[in-house]
Amino acid sequence: MSFSLDLRYHICLQPIELPVFNPVALELLQLLGDPDVDFDIIINTINKDQALSIQILRMANSPVYAGRAKSDTIKESVNRLGAKQITNLAMAASQAALHASENPVVSGVMQDLWLHSHACAIGCRSLAINTGHRELADQAYLAGLLHDIGKLYLLKAMERISTNAETSFELDRETLVDVFSDMHVEQGCRIMNHWDIPSVYYNIVADHHSEQLDPHDTLLAIVRLVNFNSMNYKLNLYPQFIQPQDVTPEISVLHANEVALAQLETDMTGSSA
pLDDT value of position 243: 62
Rounded distance, CA 183 to CA 7, Å? 12
| Mean pLDDT, residues 66-81 taken together | 83
| Mean pLDDT, residues 16-43 taken together | 90
The band of 4, judged by pLDDT with boundaries at 50, 70 and 90, is confident
Q: What is the pLDDT of residues 99-157, one digit of tens each?
A: 999 889 999 999 999 999 999 999 999 999 999 999 999 999 999 999 999 999 999 99
Crossing angle of helices 50-60 and 83-98, rounded to 10°: 120
pLDDT value of position 2: 65
Alpha carbon distances (Å) from 122 to 3, 32, 217, 226, 239: 33, 20, 19, 9, 19
Alpha carbon distances (Å) from 31 to 1, 25, 40, 197: 38, 10, 12, 9
Q: What is the pLDDT of residues 152-185, one digit of tens each?
A: 999 999 999 888 877 767 788 888 888 888 899 9
| Mean pLDDT, residues 10-34 taken together | 90
Mean pLDDT of the chain: 90
> What percent of the chain has pLDDT above 90?
60
Angle CA 11–118–176, to nearest 5: 25
pLDDT value of position 62: 85
Q: Is the pTM of this model over 0.85?
A: yes
Rounded distance, CA 91 to CA 272, Å? 18
pLDDT value of position 68: 60
Domains and CATH numbers, the chain: 18-83 (no CATH), 99-272 (1.10.3210.10)
pLDDT value of position 133: 98
Asked whether the beta carbons of 192 and 228 are under 8 A apart, the reply is no
